[in-house]
Chain A
Amino acid sequence: MDRLKIIKKNIMEKKTTILNLTEEEFVHSGNRACSGCGLSIIYRIGLKALGKNTILVVPPSCLTVLQGLYPVASTKLPCVNVTFASTGAAATGVRGAMKALKKENVNVVAWAGDGGTGDIGIQALSGACERGEDIIYICYDNEAYMNTGVQRSGTTPQGVLTTTTPIKGKLQEKKDVPSIIAAHGIGYVATASAAYPLDFYDKVKKAMTISGPRYIHVHTPCPPGWSFDTRFTIKVGKLAVKSGLFDLYEIEDGEFQLTGESKRLVGKEKPPVTDYFNSQGRFKSLDAELVKTVQERVDTKWAKY
């Protein structure tokens, strides 16, 4: 398709494009994220989607640092920093206060890392989902504990070198957090990638039209943690999607459907996972056998789509 056709198609599908994306910014430039940070891309875009009438809940993570050091803050929205394990419950508390104070139409948004979501914070998040709390939960998945210096997390993929899997790489497979959350039967679960920020924008916008717990899991490449040059954040993020490793999808009222780039990939030839592995230093210790296993897993998964 030529460019004009794509733009026309996007407008038809009411997709956000660079032409109609709001210019209002809620994150100051010059914040403390590393250059090339995938999180900083989606944080900026996500807050644009959420808009002014939003209260953020943030546990310790790279985002805490991005937000600035007292008394300077990089976010123009009210934000409460909370303890590591408590994000889902703290968002519940903000919503509880909004209800008690009869303040309607405030987006209560938890924004946490993969460790804060799928590991230490999973209990509080599961509780909030089960109770049906009216919150949006955004997990940015940089696939390790970055803030503390790249230790393994439950969502670190198999074979990845981290500072706590320094020689052999992580032995276990990546924990499928969005599926765990979807198993709670909540109204909206989606995945997104920092490499496709406008797709993420539209998913946040859609989440805002639904009530109850909503969960968006965003793949966010991290140059220092994954060992790649800061120029390649988008390229690495796209490779994860295009190779079929990280899938973009939505589960609305239990209905699963691939979205965006992943939808376009169905029935198409995909680049091998090695393209993705070779784009980063963290997969250095992968042996041929594991690469083969991962490729087979991807192929089996895609055969079902």
Chain B
Amino acid sequence: MHIIESGNVAAATGVKLSRAQVIAAYPITPQTPLTEKLSEFVESEEFDAQYIPVESEHSAMAVCIAASSAGARAFTATSANGLLYMSEQLHWAVGARLPLVMCVANRGIGAPWTVWNDQQDTMSQRDAGWIQIYANDHQQIIDSVIKAFRLAQTVSIPVMVCYDGYILSHTYMPFEQPDQEQVDSFLPPFAPKNFLDPENPGNFNTVTLPDVRPGVDGKIEPGYIEIRHNLHEDLRTALDTYEEIDKEFEEQFGRGGNPLIEQYKCDDAEFVAVCIGSLSYQLRDVIDIMRDDGMKIGVMSVQMYRPFPDEAIVAVLAGKKCAIVLEKALSYGNQGALYGDIKSALYNSDTKPHVHNYILGLGGREIKTQHLLDALTESCTSPDTIGDTPRWIGLKL
């Protein structure tokens, strides 16, 4: 069914179709309409789930962690300070290997207060161990939520589905809403091997020693570092797993094909603009203008940021003249985090491009197409003279 709705409603609909069983959330702009919609779905009995209106984001994630440990499919959503308030819990959910899904409507972080979009919130949580998927439009939001539940329970790692606050969360776009039966056949019920079960008691997240240790049966069990090593390995495998899941999704729903990165006119390009999220669609317009002027440029958006799809990115960027990384976030005192990741991925390539870094749109500063055009044109005309320091777009000092 084709509908026209907001990005937040696309997310809520994806959660309903995925038959989440326990939902806990705390309101924060611009995520709020998503939680409101879910509570409405549940209260109207259109959606059979437990909706728990907790008193904080820390508790929202606590509810999800515990519900998932007890064998239920759990979901939450947040933005900005709400995400940071759950930071401890984010790490806990990963270490406990729980297949949670969380939507984050990306927003800048205070102080000073801002409610507008940038991506500092999720980017600052990149090392928590969550899988991070970014959607560029409403169709990707709803599809990613469904795929995220499947991925999370396949690899036992929680997944964040991120989308730009306001730009996607509050705007209305047409998108295809999958049928419930189709989703049911794509996403099997959550049936974990281990869960809190009086018939088969276990102690979860017990204090774990630095070294390996035998159990009462004499079998050697991992220490903390082995557990963390395995998490990392499983995250790396999740890149392939997500590609397989996406392929299956595409066969069933006729959409997908770009789970890790999405490219626009990159094949013959000498220059590639790289970004995360909805900015990539704005950049398509800029690229088309530049192409009319004979500039061979394309745009690539990173759809899965953690685990980092380094091979897929290098396969596109190696051999190009220049990669121009535009970011709505910054690793303060250093560079854009994506920029650093891309440079490091390219380090071993024989044909590395120049790589430039632009910071833009922080706290919702309007990103003007003219500014993008000017920046990209400058990068394309002098790829080897622009240095390593991040350059700021649209700054009014």
Say whether B207 contacts A69, CB under 8 Å: yes
Say whether A130 contacts B206, CB under 8 Å: no
State which residues 71-106 of A face B: CB under 8 Å: 71-73, 75-83, 85-86, 88-94, 96-101, 106
B59's partner among A94, A97, A123 (CB-CB below 8 A) is: A123
Say whether B88 contacts A83, CB under 8 Å: yes
Contact with B along A91-129 (1 / 0, CB 8 A): 111101111110000100000000000000001101100
Alpha-carbon distance A97/B55, docked complex (angstroms): 18
Query: Chain A residues with Cβ under 8 A from B65's Cβ?
Result: 82, 86, 90, 93
Say whether B55 contacts A130, CB under 8 Å: yes
Q: Is B289 positioned at the interface, with any CB of A under 8 Å from its CB?
A: no
Alpha-carbon distance A82/B66, docked complex (angstroms): 8
Alpha-carbon distance A92/B56, docked complex (angstroms): 13
Query: Chain B residues with Cβ under 8 A from A100's Cβ?
Result: 21-22, 49-50, 67, 72
Q: Is B33 positioned at the interface, with any CB of A under 8 Å from its CB?
A: no
By size class, the interface of chain B is 35 or more
> How many A residues face the partner with a CB closer than 8 A?
45
* Closest-CB distance, B176 to chain A (whole angstroms): 28
Alpha-carbon distance A65/B208, docked complex (angstroms): 11
Residue with the greatest number of chain B CB neighbours at <10 A, chosen from A75, A83, A86, A93? A93
Contact with A along B270-291 (1 / 0, CB 8 A): 0000000000000000000000
Q: Is B64 positioned at the interface, with any CB of A under 8 Å from its CB?
A: yes
Closest to A90 in B: B66
Query: Chain B residues with Cβ under 8 A from A106's Cβ?
Result: 198
B196's partner among A67, A80, A92, A127 (CB-CB below 8 A) is: A80
Alpha-carbon distance A78/B200, docked complex (angstroms): 7
Segment of B209-217, B297-305, B355-363 in the binding face: B209-217
Query: Chain A residues with Cβ under 8 A from B208's Cβ?
Result: 69-70
**Interface of B: prevailing SS:** mixed
Q: Is A235 positioned at the interface, with any CB of B under 8 Å from its CB?
A: no
Closest to B206 in A: A70
Say whether A90 contacts B52, CB under 8 Å: no
Q: Is B70 positioned at the interface, with any CB of A under 8 Å from its CB?
A: yes
Closest to B217 in A: A71
Alpha-carbon distance A106/B202, docked complex (angstroms): 15
Closest to B201 in A: A78
Contact with B along A47-77 (1 / 0, CB 8 A): 0000011110100000011011111110111
State which residues 187-227 of B face A: CB under 8 Å: 196-198, 200-209, 213-216, 219, 221
Q: Is B58 positioned at the interface, with any CB of A under 8 Å from its CB?
A: yes
Say whether B207 contacts A55, CB under 8 Å: no
Alpha-carbon distance A112/B55, docked complex (angstroms): 19
Say whether A124 contacts B55, CB under 8 Å: yes
Query: Chain A residues with Cβ under 8 A from B207's Cβ?
Result: 64-65, 67-70, 81
What 9 new A-B contacts, CB under 8 Å, besides A78-B200, A100-B72?
A53-B198, A64-B206, A68-B203, A69-B208, A70-B209, A80-B204, A92-B59, A97-B66, A100-B22
Closest 10 CB pairs of A and B: A93-B66, A127-B55, A89-B59, A86-B62, A97-B70, A93-B63, A89-B62, A97-B72, A73-B203, A100-B21
Residue positions of B touching A, CB distance < 8 A: 21-22, 24, 49-50, 52-56, 58-72, 74, 88-89, 92, 196-198, 200-209, 213-216, 219, 221
